[in-house]
Amino acid sequence: MKISTKGRYALRMLIDLAEHQNGGYIALKDIAKRQNISKKYLEQIIPILNGADLLRTTRGAQGGYMLAKTPENYTVGEILRLTEGRISPVDLSGEITPGIEETGELALMSVWQGLSRVVNEYLNSITLQDIVDEQQQHYMNNYVI
């Protein structure tokens, strides 16, 4: 299982919005600069996030983006499933192909289903707020005078 650039960048963008949520709408160019991500690439991710009602947008000189909900209402699992599709180590579509009994794959199906369940439960347990809090704690612990 590999998370694509699209999934990783969508997470980074939403985390950036969560960190700067008190500043009102945030211009995409500011997010791109802080995250060192191409603005053009973020523009390709925006429709996916907008389509799922994860963002609020406004146009104009003070335009930009903000989270539609509070950061604790977004999970990493939700965001990755939106950008990546199904999150699973193997195809678990449920189709039993002829001859699967002979290959041993049927015996492993419960292993792959269990792994998929554990991965999804873990990703669903992490919110954007958890990540922001952890990042803030990291910076506080590394304060040097």
Domain spans in the chain, listed from the N-terminal domain onward: 5-141
- Residue with the larger pLDDT of the pair 93 and 124: 124
To 10 degrees, the CA torsion angle through 100, 106, 107, 112? Answer: 130
Q: What is the pLDDT of residues 23-41, one digit of tens each?
A: 789 999 999 999 999 999 9
For the cut 90, the answer to whether the pLDDT of residue 48 exceeds it is yes
Q: Output the pLDDT for position 97.
A: 56
Q: Quote the pTM value.
A: 0.84
At the topology level, CATH places domain 5-141 in Arc Repressor Mutant, subunit A (1.10.10)
For the cut 80, the answer to whether the pLDDT of residue 1 exceeds it is no
Q: Output the pLDDT for position 37.
A: 97
Mean pLDDT value of segment 59-80: 93
Backbone dihedral region for residue 57 (phi beyond 0: left; psi -120 to 50: alpha; all else: beta): beta
Mean pLDDT value of segment 82-97: 75
Q: Output the pLDDT for position 102.
A: 56
Q: What is the pLDDT of residues 109-123, one digit of tens each?
A: 888 889 999 999 999
Average pLDDT over the chain reads: 88
Confidence of residue 93 (pLDDT cuts 50, 70, 90): low
